[in-house]
C-alpha cells in the first residue's frame, strides 16, 4: 500500500498541547434522518408528548400556527392538523405539554399577542383552545418566549418569561379546567438574570424544587426556590465574564440528573450574531468565543460552575439556540445542541461526572432557532427539528444510531511525523479541510486522534497518532480512493516527514 494514501490529516489546536484526543465522528451516536413533513410556516419552537400510547410532536412558528404530528417507533411523521393562535398573531413560542389532574394540555406562548394560550389535547391529538391569559401591568407576559410547568405535591404551576421591555418572572397556578391564576411576579433587577428569559429548567433536590432561568439580555443564569404555594425566591446568580464563561446572550437552558448529580446545561447565542441589534440592551460585551457550559446544582439549590465544552475546529457551536437532552441511563445522557449560525446539530454525551464530549455533527443545511425537541420511543431515541427559514417549512425526524450493523470493525491506525517546516498557517488551512472531509466520506464510522506523551523515549520521533474505524476492508478501500481524500493528500502531503500504518480487526 502506498504510504501517502494512508495519510489522514491532523487537527492542530490549542488542545494539542495537552495531548487531548478529539472524537469527531462517533459510531455510537450518529443522527440519521427517518422522515420529514411539511409545516404551515417556519419552526421556532417544538415539543413532544405521549398520550394514550401515541407520541405527538407539536411545532410552532411565524404565521401563528401550531402543527401537530404523530411519530411512530420507526421515526415516521404523520400529520394530525394545524391550529391557529388567537388574534392570528404569534409566533407560537415556548410550547410545553403536561397532564393536569387527568387532562392533557398544551401551553403556548403567543409572542406577538403578549399572552399565554392553553389548549386541551384531544384523544386524536387535535387541539381545542381552553383558556387565554393576557398580559397585565402586574405580570410579565410581554413578548412571551418561554414556559415551564412545575408540579409540587398536588399543585401545578406555569412559569413564564420573555423579552418584555420591563422584564421579570411570573408564576401562575394551573387549574384542572386549564385556567391560569396569578401567584407571583418578580421584577428584574441588577442582581438576578431574568431580563430576556429564553430558557428555564427545574430540579427537585431532597424534596425541594429549584427553577433555573437564563437571561438573554443580562447575560447570566439564576436559581430560584419554588415553594408549595407557587411563590419563589432567588437563591444565587452567575454572570458572564470574558475568560471562562460563555453566557453573553444566554439562550437555551436544560438539565438532567446523572449519578445523583444535578446538572444544568446552558448555551448562548452571542449578541454579535444578531444583525438587527437595536433590541440588545447591553452592547459592551466582547466576544471571546462560543461554548456550552455545565453547572452543578447543590443541595441548597445554588448554581456552581462545573465544566465547559469550548467550540473549536471539530465542533459546531456557533450561535446555539436549543439544547435537548435524552437520558440513556443513570451514567450518561445524549445532548443535542441546535445552532442557527452553524446550521447544524452538534451531538454530545454528558457523563455522570458532568463532562460534555462531542460525538458527531449533523449538518442540517438549515438554521435552527429554538425549534428542536426530543423523545424516546421504546428503545429508540429521536430528535425532531425544524427551520426558522421560511423557505424550508419542514419538520425533520432524526434517529440516533447507537451501533454499526456489523459488530466486527476494522481499525486503521496511522502514526505521523511532521516536517519542522510546516507553518501554523498551513496547519490552520488543513484543519478546515479536515473538518469538511469527515462529513464527505461516510465510510468513516469513528475517528480518534491524540498527541504522543509517552515518557519511554521509544516513539522514534512520531508525534501524532490516529485511529480510523471502518465497517470492513471494502469501506477502507473506498476511503483510500475517495476523491476528497485524494484531494487532501495532494494538498497536505508535502507536510509529512514519515508515516507508520497498521490495520487490525476488533469486535465489541
Mean pLDDT of the region 190-212? 97
pLDDT reported for residue 499: 83
Phi and psi at residue 39, to the nearest 5°: -110, 160
* C-alpha cell read off for 250: 444566554
Does pLDDT of 77 surpass 60? Answer: yes
Q: Summarize the chain as % helix, strand, coil (round to 5).
A: 10, 50, 40
For residue 64, what is the DSSP state? S
pLDDT reported for residue 490: 85
Mean pLDDT of the region 256-282? 92
3-state secondary structure of 382: strand
Does pLDDT of 6 surpass 50? Answer: no
Residue found by looking up cell 456557533 in the block: 318
Does pLDDT of 103 surpass 60? Answer: yes
Instruction: Name, of 100-109, 411-420, 444-453, the range with top average pLDDT.
Output: 100-109
Q: What predicted TM-score, i.e. pTM, was given to this entire model?
A: 0.76
Non-local CB neighbours of 128 within 8 Å, separated by 6+ positions: 119, 120, 122
Between CA 268 and CA 321 the distance in angstroms is: 7
Ranges assigned E (strand) in 291-393:
291-297, 303-310, 320-329, 332-339, 344-351, 356-363, 372-377, 380-386
Residues 274-306 pLDDT 10s: 887 788 988 888 899 999 999 999 999 999 999
pLDDT reported for residue 407: 63
Looking at the chain, the whole-number percentage of residues with pLDDT higher than 70 is 92
Lowest mean pLDDT among 13-17, 212-216, 293-297, 433-437: 13-17
Residues 10-41 pLDDT 10s: 333 222 222 222 333 334 578 999 999 999 99
Does pLDDT of 264 surpass 50? Answer: yes
Domains present along the chain, CATH in parentheses: 3-24+406-507 (3.30.70.100), 28-37+321-402 (no CATH)
Residue among 444, 443, 445, 463 at smallest CA distance from 453? 463
pLDDT band at 3 (very low <50, low <70, confident <90, very high): very low
pLDDT reported for residue 473: 87
3-state secondary structure of 272: helix
The DSSP-derived string for 430-488 is HHHHHHHHTTT-TT--EEEEEE---SSS-STT--EEEEEEESSHHHHHHHHT-HHHHHH
pLDDT band at 442 (very low <50, low <70, confident <90, very high): confident
pLDDT reported for residue 24: 34
- In terms of pLDDT, which residue wins out, 24 or 365? 365
Looking at the chain, the whole-number percentage of residues with pLDDT higher than 90 is 69
Between the alpha carbon of residue 95 and those of residues 128, 160, 255, the distances in Å are: 15, 11, 17
* C-alpha cell read off for 245: 464563561
Mean pLDDT of the region 316-345? 96
Does pLDDT of 452 surpass 90? Answer: no
Between CA 133 and CA 185 the distance in angstroms is: 15
Residues 333-348 pLDDT 10s: 999 999 999 999 999 9
Does pLDDT of 445 surpass 90? Answer: no
pLDDT band at 406 (very low <50, low <70, confident <90, very high): low
Lowest mean pLDDT among 82-86, 103-107, 437-441: 437-441
pLDDT reported for residue 321: 96
Between CA 360 and CA 353 the distance in angstroms is: 20
Residue among 45, 22, 33, 35 at smallest CA distance from 324? 45
Q: How would you label 343-362 residue by residue, b for 16+ Cβ within 10 Å and e otherwise?
A: bbbbbbbbebebebebbbbb
For residue 141, what is the DSSP state? -
The Cβ-side half-sphere exposure at 48, using a 13 Å CA radius, reads: 24
The answer to whether 62 touches 390, Cβ cutoff 8 Å, is yes
* CB atoms inside a 10 Å sphere around CB 154: 7
Amino acid at each position: 500500500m502506498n504510504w501517502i494514501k494512508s495519510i489522514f490529516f491532523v487537527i492542530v489546536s490549542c488542545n494539542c498541547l495537552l495531548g487531548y484526543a478529539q472524537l469527531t465522528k462517533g459510531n455510537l451516536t450518529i443522527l440519521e434522518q427517518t422522515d420529514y413533513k411539511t409545516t404551515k410556516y417556519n419552526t421556532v419552537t417544538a415539543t413532544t408528548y405521549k398520550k394514550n400510547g401515541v407520541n405527538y410532536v407539536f411545532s410552532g412558528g411565524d404565521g401563528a400556527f401550531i402543527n401537530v404530528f404523530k411519530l411512530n417507533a420507526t421515526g415516521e411523521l404523520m400529520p394530525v392538523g394545524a391550529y391557529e393562535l388567537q388574534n392570528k398573531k404569534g409566533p407560537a413560542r415556548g410550547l410545553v405539554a403536561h397532564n393536569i389532574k387527568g387532562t392533557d394540555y398544551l401551553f403556548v406562548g403567543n409572542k406577538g399577542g403578549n399572552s399565554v394560550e392553553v389548549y386541551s389535547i384531544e384523544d386524536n391529538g387535535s387541539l381545542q383552545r381552553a383558556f387565554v391569559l393576557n398580559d397585565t401591568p402586574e405580570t410579565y407576559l410581554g413578548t412571551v418566549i418561554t414556559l415551564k410547568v412545575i408540579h409540587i405535591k398536588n399543585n401545578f404551576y406555569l412559569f413564564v418569561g420573555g423579552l418584555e421591555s420591563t422584564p421579570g418572572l411570573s408564576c401562575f397556578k394551573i387549574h384542572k379546567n386549564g385556567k391560569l391564576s396569578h401567584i407571583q411576579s418578580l421584577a428584574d433587577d441588577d442582581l438576578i438574570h431574568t431580563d430576556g428569559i429564553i430558557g428555564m429548567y427545574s430540579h427537585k433536590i431532597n424534596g425541594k424544587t429549584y427553577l433555573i432561568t437564563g437571561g438573554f439580555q443580562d447575560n447570566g443564569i439564576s436559581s430560584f426556590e419554588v415553594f408549595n404555594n407557587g411563590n419563589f425566591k432567588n437563591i444565587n446568580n452567575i454572570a458572564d465574564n470574558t475568560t471562562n464563561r460563555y453566557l453573553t446572550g444566554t439562550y437555551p437552558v436544560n438539565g438532567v440528573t446523572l449519578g445523583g448529580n444535578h446538572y444544568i446545561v446552558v448555551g448562548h447565542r452571542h449578541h454579535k450574531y444578531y444583525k438587527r441589534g437595536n433590541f440588545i440592551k447591553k452592547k459592551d460585551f466582547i466576544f471571546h468565543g462560543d461554548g456550552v457550559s455545565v453547572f452543578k446544582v447543590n443541595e441548597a439549590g445554588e448554581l456552581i460552575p462545573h465544566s465547559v465544552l469550548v467550540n473549536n475546529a471539530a465542533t459546531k457551536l456557533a450561535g446555539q439556540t436549543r439544547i435537548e437532552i435524552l437520558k440513556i441511563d443513570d451514567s450518561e445522557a445524549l445532548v443535542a445542541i441546535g445552532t442557527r449560525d452553524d446550521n447544524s446539530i452538534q451531538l454530545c454525551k454528558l457523563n455522570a461526572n458532568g463532562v460534555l464530549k462531542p460525538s458527531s455533527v449533523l449538518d442540517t443545511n438549515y438554521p435552527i432557532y429554538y425549534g428542536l425537541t426530543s423523545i424516546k420511543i421504546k428503545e429508540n431515541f429521536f430528535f425532531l427539528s425544524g427551520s426558522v427559514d421560511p423557505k424550508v417549512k419542514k419538520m425533520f425526524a432524526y434517529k440516533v444510531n447507537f451501533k454499526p450493523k456489523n459488530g466486527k470493525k476494522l481499525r486503521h491506525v496511522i502514526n505521523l511525523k511532521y516536517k519542522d517546516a510546516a507553518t501554523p498557517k498551513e496547519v490552520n488551512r488543513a484543519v478546515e479541510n479536515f473538518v469538511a472531509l469527515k462529513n464527505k466520506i461516510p465510510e468513516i464510522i469513528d475517528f480518534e486522534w491524540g498527541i504522543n506523551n509517552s515518557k519511554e523515549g521509544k516513539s522514534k520521533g512520531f508525534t501524532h497518532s490516529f485511529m480510523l474505524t471502518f465497517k470492513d476492508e471494502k469501506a477502507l478501500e473506498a476511503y483510500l480512493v475517495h476523491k476528497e481524500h485524494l484531494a487532501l493528500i495532494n494538498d497536505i502531503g508535502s507536510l509529512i516527514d514519515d508515516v507508520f500504518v497498521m490495520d487490525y480487526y476488533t469486535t465489541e
